[in-house]
Amino acid sequence: MQTPEPEHLSGQKTAEIIAWLATSHTLIKVSLPVGDYERLTMIIETDQPEGRPVFQIDPPEGLIDEMSKGSQGEPMMLHFEFAGEDRLPHRFETPVASINAQHLWLHYPAEIQRLQLRDNFRIKAPSNAELVVPMEDRNIHMAVDNISRGGAFCHCSNVLKLRFSMGMSCDRLKLSIHMVGGSHTMAIDRAVVRRIERRVRPKHFGVAFEFTKMRPEARKQLTKIIYDLHRQFLKNRIKSIG
């Protein structure tokens, strides 16, 4: 399936997003156009000197040193990525306005790209996440390894391997995820087995399901959970960096 084109946001909408980033203290990934430098930061202040809006970020460790290695005499560009208020991925690039040892100001971007959520965007599931698959004589409980809007990859006991085959359809599944702040259970009306792996952990094999039929409210709930997990992942990363 072709990746949908991003939506291009500009003008007042760009200003509103930058203001939201500053007030919400949302974590942002910053990277350089050349090299593999990548860290997390946040916008800590906005200003409008001489009528041109700028924002200040908290410079992550090593960023200013890496920037000094760039081409002299050319405006330095920085790339940013973050999950917006709508939990969709956003990205933009913008030039540096001013820089010294402690402060780094950047111009507001000309546009911000909002990416449509891909069904194959996967995130590691909490350790107690579970997918229940009804069979004729029993319910099969499987540990969920990772999830996306489009499906899940699960671990299943080897004693049940003969019950599964490529392309088989399963109905009335239940996906349970326990997170900080509450537990969530979603109904999966239909799922299809797309991949079977031999050994992914001792005495278990792997099963990849595609969720082919879900009610809109269940899909919306799953989308929210995925981005809540992604946001928690980013928070844990910035703690480990700090």
- Predicted confidence (pLDDT) at residue 189 exceeds the cutoff of 90: yes
The model's pLDDT over 155-173, given as tens digits with 9 standing for 90+, comes to 999 999 999 999 999 999 9
DSSP 3-state of 135: coil
In the numeric block, which tokens belong to residue 39? 């860290």
Task: Dig out the tokens for 12 from the structure.
Answer: 């007042």
Task: Evaluate if residue 3 carries a pLDDT over 50.
Answer: no
The three-state secondary structure class of 133 is strand
User: C-alpha 130: how far from its chain's center?
Assistant: 21
Nearest to 224 by CA among 161, 147, 169: 147
Q: With bands split at pLDDT 50, 70 and 90, how would you rate the model's confidence at 88?
A: confident
User: What does pLDDT average to over the chain?
Assistant: 87
CATH 2.30.110.10 fits 7-114, yes or no: yes
Q: Of all residues in the chain, what percent carry a pLDDT higher than 70?
A: 88
Strands 111-114 and 123-124: unpaired
Strand 111-114 with 139-147, pairing: unpaired
Q: Within the chain, how many helices (H) and strands (E) appear?
A: 3, 16
- Report domain extents, the chain: 7-114, 123-236
Strand 54-57, strand 104-107: pairing: antiparallel
Domain 123-236 bears CATH identifier 1.10.10.10: no
The per-residue pLDDT for 142 is: 96
